[in-house]
Amino acid sequence: MIEELARHRCTAGDGMPLYVIEHCHVFTTQGEGGTSLYRGASWAALPDGEPVRFVDARTFAVIATGEMLTHDIQRCGCAPAPKIITIPAGSESA
């Protein structure tokens, strides 16, 4: 599964507001003690799926274009996403 961890409020170079969404892989295993949940690698992307990378606490960069996105820490609060979205691995819809 894929879990949405948080949405970060940012501003693009042209002043357009947007969000960077943090996701992570979630794995479950069945054992004698029941089901165990493990969180794996995380990554960030724009809502349309365009990958971004973390530069520093105030900046993300769109990988394909190099466009810098300013993280609006004052207004963001980096709170967890309002709704956790899970997507089965291999699903075509995101």
Which pLDDT belongs to residue 50? 96
pTM score: 0.71
Q: What is the C-alpha separation between 57 and 92, in angstroms, rounded?
A: 31
User: Using an 8 Å Cβ cutoff, are 54 and 78 in contact?
Assistant: no
Widest Cα–Cα separation across the chain: 55
Q: List, for residues 12-30, the tens digit of each pLDDT value.
A: 999 999 999 999 999 988 8
User: Using an 8 Å Cβ cutoff, are 26 and 39 in contact?
Assistant: yes
Q: Which residue has the tokens 């990988």?
A: 63
Q: Would you place residue 10 in the very low, low, confident or very high pLDDT band (cuts 50, 70, 90)?
A: very high
pLDDT at 82 over 50: no
Torsion, Cα 9 12 57 42, to 10 degrees, reads 70
